[in-house]
Every structure is written in C-alpha cells, then in structure tokens.
Structure 1
Amino acid sequence: MPVAMAEELESGENTVELQLPHGDAAVLREVLDACFGPVDLLVSDKPIDVPHLFISDMDSTMISAECIDELADFAGIKDQIADITERAMQGELDFAQALTERVGLLAGLGEEAIQQCLDQRIAAMPGAKVLVATLKSRGCFTVLVTGGFHQFADPVAEQLGFERVVANRLAVHEGKLTGGLVGGITDSGVKKAVLLEEMARLGDHAISLATGDGANDIPMIEAATYGVAYHAKPKAKAAGDGWVARGDLTSVLALLGIPREEWVWE
C-alpha cells in the first residue's frame, strides 16, 4: 500500500514514499497521523501517479476566505452569517438550507460590494497557482467547483488557471442583491456529479484528484481516486485518502511525487 508523506528531511527532500503491507487504509492513516501529526500524507492501494483530472473546492481551499462571510461583513452581519457557514462546513446543517438562509440575509446589499470584497478580502491560498499550473503542465484538466458564487469563482478561476467553473449565482436586480439565487444550488451532490461527469469524459483509466475542506466536499473527496482534505474540518479529513495538515497547496505536488524542480512557478 503506497503511502506518501511530506516531511522536511535532513537530506533536503520533503517526501517519503513507503510501501506497506495491505490493510485498512483508514486505520493506517489514523496511526500515521497519531505518530507523526500534523503531517501531510496520501494513502493509496495503487502506485501514486499524476492525475488526469483535478477538481477543487474554492473557499478555504483555493482561497483563504469564505466569500459569503466576507461579503456579509459589508452588510454588517458577518458574525451572524459566519456562524451558519461554520456549522454547515462542520456538517451540522443541511448545506442547501444554510445557503438559502445566508443568501436571504444579504438582500438589499449593493452589487458593488462584490467587487470591493474581491479587491480587499479575497486572496489565493499559498501554493494554489503553482499547484494548478503544474498539474496543467502534465496534461491534467482542472475544475473549480464551489458552493460559493460565480461572481467570485469566475475571477478566482481566471487568476489561478482553472479551465471549468461550477458555482451558484447571486441574483441581482437594479444594482442590489435580491436575497435569492439564479438557477439550482451547487451542493455536495453536484460536486460529486461534476467529478463523475469529467471522469466519464476522460475514460475508464483516468485518475482523479479532489481537494476540499468542508462537509459538502465529502462525496467529491470520497469519489476521487485521490481525495485530499486541505486543512479540513474533522469529517472531511476523515473522508480523505490523505490530507494536508501542515504545509500549503504545493504539498499536494510533493505527495503526488512531482519533483520540486518540475513545479511551474508563475
């Protein structure tokens, strides 16, 4: 059972790949985490290889903020909305219901707050651009799929280099948020469906990588060849084939066995 662990070694290398006897992968991850944690690791029942598909959550994974919480700050209700967001990401609330409730609280906020929020509050997670660019250089197709909003996800995807975006869309009328959404809700089921759709397009032998941090990422993480939880909530971490708990997003490249000298720095 191949296990990749990212640690800084005396040799200067930062990844160890171990071949361990077959066993329960979940138990193995728990033991490694207990002995070495916090650690970045990936456990697979096959040799670890570069994926053909990379699909990722956005908020608190590819960017360092929760967009709806930061947008709520412009409406003066960040604490109220952030509490709902946290409970939803922990898996304590139904995601669709929690999203509808939070969006409703934004009714009447001026549309210009979206651009202000993008300019002032939204930043790429360390290593995000290098991760996406390096995977694309290896022929990997990249998808950003988020329970957030196109008004944020589209510019973030352009900045980071994602080739497809799946997200919700805030409804706007006469320059103000209506408190509703346009179209259906991108929830955990949609995230998984997008992964399966892309995998079907790529063929039977395609390898997929999914990253996320919250409960609504769990079905996507579980469906991927490599599901990697990124500084994640406990339920999402437990669902992954591995996790990044110590480093930044470039740790994913190390876990995949891509040498640092082949990373694409932009």
Structure 2
Amino acid sequence: MTKVSDLKTQNLINIHSNNPSNNPSLKKPGLLVLDVDATLIEEEVIDLLGDIAEVGCDLAYITSRAMQGKMDFNTSLKLRVSMLKGLDYSCVKQVAQNIHVTNGAKKLISTLHSFGWKVGAVSGGFKQVLDDFLPKLNIDFWVANNLEVVDSKLSGKVIDPIVNRQYKAKALTNWASKNNIDIAQSVAIGDGANDIDMIKTAGLGVAFCAKQLLKSQAKASIDTRGLSLVLDLLS
C-alpha cells in the first residue's frame, strides 16, 4: 500500500488551500467526487457533438456562459441539446472514442482506492458516453444526463432529471451516506458554476483550472492540469 508520506511532493506551485490541517485524511475512509467535462476529461463532450452537428461555435458559446454562471444550467442544457436534434446516435459513440483523460486522473483514482476510498463522477454531460468510458477508469458510481434517442437519432431533448448543481451535491451526500463516509471526509473537484453546490458541500472543495466564480467558493484551487496534485491536499 502507498504510504501517506510518499505522496507529498516538493513543489506545491499552483495549489492554494486554506486551513490544510482540516482537509480530509487518507488515514480514514473517504469519498472523491469528480466533475467530468473539462475536469476528469479534457473536453466538453457536448461541444464535440456540436462540432459534428456543425453548430460548434454557437453551442460552445452557450456552454461557456453556463459554466461562468451567466446562464441557468437547465435552460442552457435544453437549448444546447435542441441544437443536436437529428444527429445520428452513432456520433455519440464516436465522440466517446475520442475523449482524453486528464493528466494525473488515473494516479489519483488508483491511489485513493488503495487507501480504501470510493470514487464517484457527476456529469452535466451524457450517460450514453460515460457508461462505456467510466468503468475503464474504475469509477465506483456516477450520474449523468440522458439523451432521448428516437429511431437511432437524437430527438433534441434530454430526459429528466437534469444533473444540475443541486443534483450533483445530492449525489455526493447520498454516496457518502450509503457508504458510511463522514461528509468531512469527502472531496469534490470541478471547474464551473454547475459544481458550486457540491464544492461547498464537500469536506474539501477543489476548483480545478476553474472559472473565477467557482474559485471564489472553493476551499482550494489547482491551476495546473494535473489531477494527482489533489493528493497533496490530503493529510
């Protein structure tokens, strides 16, 4: 098993944390919950689908506004999904083959598992992509939005419930409760406004290469695209 002392790096540049002594400990059971798009993976999946549907620029603009908190997430998601109406379902699976795991994610997940932690993922993206992808990363549980598919094409609608900021926070607390994990022993990582509630709910909320709105709410921030740096925040 990895030793806690082996995880401390010499260079903590780009990591800023308040009261690190109160952070979750690897010496106790814990829960990590990750946002997916632009956090666990490098891409925004819906933007990739927009590129295929030739509405990429307009769709990416809406995504950006939603992640900055300048547009209601539910409204923005429904609008963006409507722009994908008629797209062949095979394109969704095609995109799933072309997403890239963020540097350090596999190390973070495997290390936490070695200490007996659970790892979950919450996504404003789509289960049709993640149901094939996340098991390969040994994610224990996840939630994501569900695209409506009719006659092998996207209908332009998303099936309720929508995984918004409130839903993400609820998933975190539910997983902690079901696994008998103290909420103080939870870590949430995200990058946008849709992650604010879970960031504030977790024992340690980490803004990862995040929008300023989220940074202002997080207990810690990492501005380098290396998820394994989160280990340096744990005692």
Normalising by structure 1, report the TM-score.
0.80
Cα pair 1:40 1:247 within 8 Å, conserved: no
Cα pair 2:30 2:181 within 8 Å, conserved: no
Counterpart position of 1:41: 16
Counterpart position of 1:88: 66
Instruction: Show the 5 A alignment for 1:27-176.
Output: 39-44=14-19, 46-48=21-23, 49-50=25-26, 52-120=30-98, 122-176=99-153
Alignment gaps of 5+ in structure 1: 1-7, 16-37, 258-266
For residues 19 and 128 of structure 2, the distance between their equivalents in structure 1, rounded to whole angstroms, comes to 36
Cα pair 1:58 1:153 within 8 Å, conserved: no
Cα pair 1:209 1:227 within 8 Å, conserved: yes
**Residue 173 of structure 2: which of 162, 174, 196 is its match?**
196
Deviations 1:202-240 (A, max 9, x none): 447451000000001000000000000100000111111
For residues 237 and 174 of structure 1, the distance between their equivalents in structure 2, rounded to whole angstroms, comes to 42
SS in 2 for 1:124: coil
SS in 2 for 1:172: strand
For residues 118 and 247 of structure 1, the distance between their equivalents in structure 2, rounded to whole angstroms, comes to 21
Q: Measured at CA, do residues 241 and 106 of structure 1 come closer, stay the same or move farther in structure 2, by a change above 3 Å?
A: same
Is 2:217 aligned against 1:220? no
Cα pair 1:44 1:226 within 8 Å, conserved: no
- 2:133 maps to a residue whose letter is V
Task: Specify which structure has the bigger relative contact order, considering alpha-carbon pairs within 8 angstroms and separated by 6 or more residues.
Answer: 2
For residues 196 and 163 of structure 1, the distance between their equivalents in structure 2, rounded to whole angstroms, comes to 15
Q: Measured at CA, do residues 178 and 43 of structure 1 come closer, stay the same or move farther in structure 2, by a change above 3 Å?
A: same
Q: Number of residues paired by the alignment?
A: 224
Cα pair 1:43 1:241 within 8 Å, conserved: yes
Alignment gaps of 5+ in structure 2: 1-7
TM-aligned CA deviation for residue 183 of structure 1: 2.9
For residues 172 and 182 of structure 2, the distance between their equivalents in structure 1, rounded to whole angstroms, comes to 14
Counterpart position of 1:14: 11
Q: Measured at CA, do residues 97 and 109 of structure 1 come closer, stay the same or move farther in structure 2, by a change above 3 Å?
A: same
- 1:60 maps to a residue whose letter is A
TM-aligned CA deviation for residue 104 of structure 1: 0.6
Cα pair 2:59 2:80 within 8 Å, conserved: yes
Cα pair 1:41 1:255 within 8 Å, conserved: no
Deviations 1:74-117 (A, max 9, x none): 10010010000000000000000000000011000001111221
Cα pair 1:53 1:140 within 8 Å, conserved: yes
- 2:81 maps to a residue whose letter is V
Say what the alpha-carbon RMSD is for the aligned residues: 1.8
For residues 220 and 86 of structure 1, the distance between their equivalents in structure 2, rounded to whole angstroms, comes to 20
Cα pair 1:89 1:233 within 8 Å, conserved: yes
- The structure 1 segments of at least 4 consecutive aligned residues displaced by more than 4 Å after TM superposition are none
Deviations 1:119-147 (A, max 9, x none): 23x11011111111111111111111111
Deviations 1:242-261 (A, max 9, x none): 0111351011012224xxxx
